[in-house]
Amino acid sequence: MTAETRPRYAHLTGWGRYAPAGVLTNADLERMVDTSDEWIVSRTGIRERRVAAAHETTASMAAVAALRAIAVAGIKPEDVDLILLATLTPDYWMPATAALVKEAIGNTKATAMDLAAACSGFVYGYATAQAYITSGMAKHVVVIGAELLTRFLDYTDRNTCILFGDGAGAVVLSASDEPGGGLGIELTTEPQGAYMIWLPSGGSKSPPSAATIARGEHFIRMEGRETYRFATRTLATTALAAIEHAGLQPDDISLIIPHQANVRIIEAVAKGLDLSMDRMFVNVDRYGNTSAASIPIALAEAANSGRIKVGDRIVIVAFGAGFTSGAVAIQWTADPVRGALGDAVSPDSVHVRPPVDWDSVDPIPDALAEILARPGRVPLDLSNVVPGEPEPAAHPALR
């Protein structure tokens, strides 16, 4: 492919999401840790979050979301040239979880790799996909954000266990000669915040051992106040930079889809951009913080619920551990009605090949399994859940 024939634009042509059926409410958490529904909602806006079943993994959730996005894009899995999976909760440290997803969706030709930028990972993946397409190295790229965070939480720490949930979302970017797609991109990293959100052990600095397990060093740790300050300061400036790179002004943006970590942070972003909250898409009340999955889940939900139309200019913006941040200003070109095509993909039809002669221990944390099995809850067989789509938002004030 020569420079003269190289595609100039990377359009967003497909989108899909996947939410596990298991739900952990604030009332459930009240039984596990010193907290209350009022305390959680007033500080975060979160009312419930999704919990993956024991048979579900980051790869299986990612594969469902990817196939739904591929169906919406109107292409076949074999048409995909590159699979980028943003996650901080891979199935294994090796191989790359993206390789497992490639096999699960029935693709044989794509390059597949994981991308680690925590909650900003999906936006970093989007920027990488756009670079591949505009350089002529790929025609169709699947970008996925998938996380299974509920297995990495300390359910005695009310500062972290209330925040996170599981899920996956994906988009397809496709080459086009027509204007549209990504218009402006801004990515940043501020490493002075590297230890404000982190997981101490499990890497080469501190490999897993009986001592690291005893010290609880395989759970997510976070300095909440410092993280909040960074997020409220950086999300707005990063979004504004992407908007300016696109040659636009904030008032030109129809909808902003921010990382879903905290509704107070989202309100601060709206204020920083001098926009009303009705231009901010919010679903943190129903999913909690799903890290790299939060933006693609929200984007798919926004498109399917009629919040986006052809010609709209939208912005996706995230922040995460590192400290990382990223934003993309996008001109929407796909017919949102196509979102219904993803419904044809059933989770039952997607299978990730397990390793030979090996099986994991029960992955559900004891504290979580105990609360989900208590009397009075809707019975939930964690070993074999057939997930369904999330219900419409029950809290309009947070939309």
What sign has the CA pseudo-torsion 189, 146, 398, 228?
negative
Distance CA 255, CA 275 (A): 10
CA distance 313 to 279: 11
Q: Is residue 161 annotated as part of the catalytic site, yes or no?
A: no
User: Distances from the Cα of 286 to the Cαs of 46, 82, 283, 342, 392, in angstroms?
Assistant: 7, 31, 6, 21, 9
Q: From the candidates 11, 26, 161, 259, which is the catalytic residue? A: 259
Report d(CA 48, CA 23) in Å as an integer: 7
Q: What share of the chain is helix, strand, coil (3-state, %, to 5)?
A: 35, 20, 40
* Choice among 11, 119, 262, 283 that is catalytic: 119
* The residue to which tokens 């010193």 are assigned: 34
Dihedral (Cα; 59, 231, 45, 155), 10-degree rounding? 60
Choosing from 26, 262, 283, 289, which is the catalytic residue? 289
> Euclidean distance between the first and final Cα of the chain, in Å?
45
Neighbours of 252 (CB within 10 A): 12
Is the CB of residue 322 less than 8 Å from the CB of residue 117?
Answer: yes
Q: Which residue is associated with the tokens 């949930």?
A: 165
| Distance separating alpha carbons of residues 234 and 312, to the nearest angstrom | 24
User: CB count, 10 Å around CB of 210?
Assistant: 7
**Strand ranges across the sheet with 255-258:** 181-189, 324-331, 313-320, 255-258
Is residue 365 within 8 Å of 151, Cβ to Cβ? yes
259 is catalytic: yes
Q: What span, in angstroms and rounded, lies between the C-alpha atoms of 160 and 154?
A: 7
Report the phi/psi class of residue 269: left, alpha or beta, with left for phi > 0 and alpha for psi in -120 to 50.
alpha
Up-side HSE of residue 396: CA atoms within 13 Å toward CB? 0
Enzyme catalytic residues: 119, 259, 289
